[in-house]
Amino acid sequence: MKIFDAIKSGSKLLRKNKIPSYILDTEILLSKTLNKSREEILINLDKKINNKEFSIFNKYLLRRSKKEPIAYILEEKEFWSKKFYVNRETLIPRPETELLIDKLLQSRNKEQITILDIGTGSGCIILSLLSELKKSRGIGVDISKKAILVAKKNAIKLKLSSRVKFLNISFEDILNKKFDLIVSNPPYIERKNIKRLSCDIKKYEPKIALDGGNDGLDVIKKVIYKSKNILKIKGTLALEIGNEQINKVSKILTKNNFKIKNIIKDYKNNVRSVISTYN
């Protein structure tokens, strides 16, 4: 079979299964199968693929047709211009999170700081920050042992292992340490709303990283309370939050002696992150 025919049949299958980006996804999965860039396969449409390659390609297509995210099939997601290893033990890094990193770096580029990343997952937040803050060091914590293995793999891949530690502990168990910056993308979905999430999220991404309890604020509150004890005076707390949570989160922050510095909106104009300092 030729590349052209493989793309045609793959696109047809994904379209039938209501995958919106069916052509693009087919091309990406074929490029993974053949271990060639997408551009390379598109200028060699007449090239033949063998039966073994076609069989692998079909397995990828079947997974995608069941709404499994492309990032999990590829075991890779680009974030902050770097390729991060991901699997189903971690959330897939989102472009909105890059907006938070960008804002945090604007004022800290030359500083030497200590960073704590709560619920680190793939490690994409702390590793992206440390890749820019060359003199800084940090710790990423996660209660998922398997997520920590993913983060460690990414630290090695990005040559940052000497400046970061990843620990399989609860952030509530951190004692006798003080940080300049605490950053967290905690679970913030209201439990009753998880079933309303799109199939690719609710079926494949780890529930423990999504479920924020009955009001979506369970973990956010705990992070704020804990941060008071482990942030240096004038230290920064940066939180990703859910859509429409800003008013409630602002009140909790103010009540706990945090001063809000920045509110960051996503590409759809929803507030998705809040940056505050501890007074």
Q: Does the pLDDT at position 15 exceed 80? A: yes
The mean per-residue pLDDT over the stretch 182-195 comes to 90
Say yes or no to pLDDT of 165 above 90: yes
> What is the residue range of 125's domain?
77-278
For 225-247, how does the pLDDT look when each residue is reduced to its tens digit (9 = 90+)? 999 999 998 999 999 999 889 99
Say what the pLDDT of residue 145 is: 97
Q: Could you report the per-residue pLDDT of 121-161, keeping only the tens digit for each?
A: 999 999 999 999 999 999 999 999 999 999 999 999 999 99
pLDDT average, residue stretch 212-229 = 91
Where residue 117 sits, what CATH number does that domain have?
3.40.50.150
For the chain, the domain total comes to 2
Residues 159 and 86 in one domain: yes
What pLDDT is stored for residue 208 in this prediction? 87
> What pLDDT score does 109 carry?
63
- Whether 62 and 87 map to the same domain: the answer is no
In whole angstroms, how far apart are CA 42 and each of 6, 7, 24, 83, 236?
12, 10, 11, 22, 47
User: What is the rounded average pLDDT of the residues 192-204?
Assistant: 87
Query: Could you please report the per-residue DSSP string of 4-54?
Result: HHHHHHHHHHHHHTT-TTHHHHHHHHHHHHHTS-HHHHHT-TT-B--HHHH
